[in-house]
Amino acid sequence: MPNSDLKKNLNTLDVLSVAFGAMIGWGWVVSSGQWITSGGVLGTVIGFLIGGLMIYFVGLAYAELTTAMPKSGGVQNFCYAAFGPMGAFVSTWALILSYVGVVCFEAVSFPTIIQYIFPGFLKGYLYTVKGFEIYASWLVVAIITAAMIVYINIKGTKKAAKLQNILTCIIAGVGLILVAGSAFTGNTDNISQQLFVGDNTISIVENVAKVAIMTPFFLFGFDVIPQATEEINMPLKRLGRMMILSIAMAVGFYALVVLAIGYVMTGNQMVTSMQGAGLVTADAMAIAFNSHTMAKVLIVGGLCGIITSWNSFLIGGSRVMFAMAKSRMIPSSFAKLHPVYKTPFVALLLLGLTSIIAPFFGRVMLVWIVDAANFACCLAYCIVSLAFVVLRREKSDMIRPYRVKHGYWVGFMAVFMSGLMAVMYLIPGSSCTLVWQEQIIVVGWLVLGVFLGIRGKRLYKDSFASGMDI
């Protein structure tokens, strides 16, 4: 479904920064303590390697399919070619939920990190949601930031990518400073005393698995690239390689951060930090350099991570909605391009609206959205991986500029690992079972999808999913 109205203005650096920036958000600052106390330092690294392996197999499937079908919409195109209109709709609709979840998460994370930097920031108490107090200053900062990021994206993908490049460099720089500081001031005894969590092999394995199950959410984001393929100006084979490289970079970044924290902090210091603000990574930076100012420097890096992730998912999510609207699966208004900037501004405005609404509900309720989004992400990955296997068999003659070696084995591993992760959210008693609030979100999203699907089929009849010349 080519569309010449979209501008082809993203280069290699842009692709890397968009994908890497999407995967490195706020989690490496706020969640590192939870990872380490759950699985240990080495256990966390192993957990991320396991989760990264799943993402790697899925990423290989994405890389091949993206270069074979270089059109905006990505997942929609892959699944349409393999399963037809309904398969395309289900997979794409699930992916949109995961994008919305990330956008909402980052919208709430931004004023949160501002609060940590400026303790007196909260002014004008308004109300309380599930024990979380909402202040006027909190909402004002969140709304203004959301509006600015949406505005930049409407102005053009290239402008958004330039912002992404700058902020991604800052994130990488701050992370490297932490690693360097811990290398000079850390102690191997710190790591050796907290390698794993558990009294025996079974409990250690269970705790490592808990970390591994969490990792897809923190490595989710490389797939924003296929959604904007028509705006990328680079050889298709290189595009496939860049997607895989971005995954390796993200896994490496998380692993180095975890090792740096474990090298510079004792177990007691970690517990104390968790009982305080919970920003273990920032506290590790302060210890490494014996400076509270350096902790704030790291928090600024986390702030940049919020914006890069937020920005990336606005790009990816709006292009997915644009592609669905172009193929008459959702209302055609989402296919409208800005008359000057040639960006899908209606889709961007809707995602921007979720960014504005989310902070009104505080942090607690958004945990539910994030978990629901992670489940939707794993489900979409599983369907795409199945599409990869099907197309290898049924369309073996399709031109694939980036062709994966041992394709069937890679496809099987991608289906198995992503499917297992999705199923874990549905098994009662597992470490990541969806609570009833999260189940409501998933079911509600499903009902909305069924409504839009039936509406589109009745309204457009045979033209439903039209224009997808795969």
- Nearest Cα neighbor of 280 from 24, 25, 35, 22 is 35
Does 230 reside within a domain? Answer: yes
CA dist., res. 338 & res. 357, Å (int): 23
CA dist., res. 224 & res. 12, Å (int): 14
CA dist., res. 68 & res. 388, Å (int): 11
Q: How many structural domains is the chain composed of? A: 1
Q: Which residues of 261-293 are buried (b: 16+ CB within 10 A; e: fewer)?
A: bbbbbeeebbeebbeebbbbbbbbbbbbbeeee
pLDDT at 409: 95
Q: In the structure encoding, which two tokens stand for residue 213, read together?
A: 């199950």
Does 2 reside within a domain? Answer: no
Q: Are 46 and 337 in contact (CB under 8 A)?
A: no
Phi-psi sector, 134: left (phi>0), alpha (psi -120 to 50), beta: beta
Question: What distances in angstroms separate CA 332 from CA 201, 289, 377, one per listed residue?
Answer: 55, 55, 25
pLDDT at 283: 92
Q: Structure pTM?
A: 0.84
Does 79 reside within a domain? Answer: yes
CA dist., res. 228 & res. 41, Å (int): 37
Q: CA dihedral in degrees (404, 405, 406, 412; nearest 10)?
A: -20
pLDDT at 1: 43
Does 4 reside within a domain? Answer: no
The neighbouring-strand residues paired with 134 are 127
Q: CA dihedral in degrees (416, 15, 369, 209; nearest 10)?
A: 40
pLDDT at 314: 87
Question: With a cut of 50, which residues of the chain have pLDDT below it?
Answer: 1-4
Does 40 reside within a domain? Answer: yes
Query: Can you give the CATH number for the domain in which 187 is found?
Result: 1.20.1740.10
Provide the 10 A C-beta neighbour count for residue 124: 11
Does 19 reside within a domain? Answer: yes
Q: Are 91 and 418 in contact (CB under 8 A)?
A: no
Residue type, 326: K
pLDDT at 2: 43
Q: In the structure encoding, which two tokens stand for residue 376, read together?
A: 């939707």
Q: In the structure encoding, which two tokens stand for residue 14, read together?
A: 């842009």
Does 78 reside within a domain? Answer: yes
Q: Which structural domain range is residue 98 located in?
A: 12-463
Q: How many CA atoms lie within 13 A of 385 on its CB side?
A: 26
Q: At what angle do helices 136-155 and 292-326 cross, to 10 degrees?
A: 50
Q: Are 39 and 200 in contact (CB under 8 A)?
A: no
Question: Which residues contact residue 355 at a Cβ distance below 8 angstroms, ignoring those fewer than 6 apart?
Answer: 103, 104, 106, 107, 142, 146, 149, 150, 310
pLDDT at 158: 66
Q: Are 365 and 129 in contact (CB under 8 A)?
A: yes
- pLDDT tens digits, one per residue of 406-453: 999 999 999 999 998 888 888 887 667 888 888 998 999 999 989 988
Does 16 reside within a domain? Answer: yes
Question: Which residues contact residue 174 at a Cβ distance below 8 angstroms, ignoring those fewer than 6 apart?
Answer: 297, 298, 300, 301, 304
- Nearest Cα neighbor of 170 from 297, 28, 27 is 297
H/E element, 129: strand 125-129
Hey, is 127 helix, strand or coil?
Answer: strand
CA dist., res. 390 & res. 85, Å (int): 15
- Nearest Cα neighbor of 37 from 279, 288, 270, 273 is 270
Residue length, the chain? 470
pLDDT at 374: 84
Residue that the structure tokens 């740096």 belong to: 260
pLDDT at 21: 80
